[in-house]
Amino acid sequence: MRRSGAAGAVTPDDVKAAVHLNRGAAMDDTKVAEDEARRVAQHASVKSQIEGNVNAEIKSQARTASPEQADRVGKVAEAFRGKAIDETVASEHEVARSRGAARASQFIDYAFYLVYSLLAIRLVLALIAARSTSGFVQFINAITYPLYLPFRGIVPSPTAEGGFTLALPVGIAIVVYMVLHAGINGLLRLTSNRKTTI
């Protein structure tokens, strides 16, 4: 790069050269990705063609096979049949396990949504300064007390005139239960995903 003017000053030619280098790097990345995609497609095509040729050769040899070869082909076919049955049985077991995990996940979702709803109702009742002597308020407080207890007093709850309270511990409880919910569902997904081998 050429420098002109003050020592260390960047010229327009320097900027053009840097832009050209960046474009070249981006184009190289694109070319590499295109070449990789082309290579994968060619590999799949060649693999498919080879499989077709091998299957055709096996069929033709099976038609004109000697008794020894026919016996060998029968054994190979039986081995393939047994492997296919074993894979089908294993797949059925995995599907059943996935269904069980999905059912458990639905139950867990329902339970957590119920927890969120009850805590949200408690939060709204605190925000609107609902009377604590009301039967409904007492009912909600009694049901949510075990869920709220670990978070009680974790941070102060600011109160405004008229008794309106921003129950921050309830908000924190909802967030923590959401994180717990996501973690449990992630664990269920992790254990129920089918493991494939190539």
Q: What is the pLDDT of residues 132-189, one digit of tens each?
A: 899 999 999 999 999 999 999 888 888 877 777 788 999 999 999 999 999 999 888 8
Q: What is the pLDDT of residues 78-103, one digit of tens each?
A: 888 788 788 888 878 777 777 888 88
Structural domain spans, the chain:
97-198
Structure tokens at 54: 């091998």
DSSP string, 172-197: HHHHHHHHHHHHHHHHHHHHHSPP--
